[in-house]
Amino acid sequence: MRSALCSVFAVVASLGILVGAPPAKARTVEYLQDIDAIRAAAADQGISGPFSDIPELEGTAIRLDNAAAADHRVVVASLYCQAFHIDNPVSVLLQDLIGRATQEKTVGTTGEPQRAVVLKVTSGSTVLRCMAKSDVEPICKNRVRITAEASFQREDGSTARLPVVSQVEREGRVGGFCGNIARYTGIVTREAAIELIKQVKNAM
In a domain, 34, yes or no: yes
Q: How far apart are CA 110 and CA 53, in angstroms?
A: 23
What is the band of 10 on the pLDDT scale with cuts at 50, 70, 90? very low
Structural domain total, the chain: 1
- On whether residue 9 sits in a domain, the answer given is no
Tens-place pLDDT, residues 101-133: 887 544 444 555 578 899 999 999 999 998 765
Judge whether 151 lies within some domain: yes
Whether residue 2 lies inside any domain: the answer is no
Is 88 inside any structural domain? Answer: yes
Residue with more model confidence, 14 or 44: 44
The letter for the amino acid at 60 is T
Domain-located, residue 15: no
CB 27 within 8 A of CB 85: yes
Residue 75 sits in which domain range?
27-203
Whether residue 165 is contained in a domain is answered as: yes
* Domain contains 12: no
Q: Which residue has the higher pLDDT, 8 or 201?
A: 201
Q: CATH number, domain at 51?
A: 3.30.160.150
| Residue 181 near residue 80, CB atoms below 8 Å | no
DSSP 8-state assignment for residue 46: T
Element housing 128 (H / E): strand 115-131
Q: Is the pTM of this model over 0.75?
A: yes
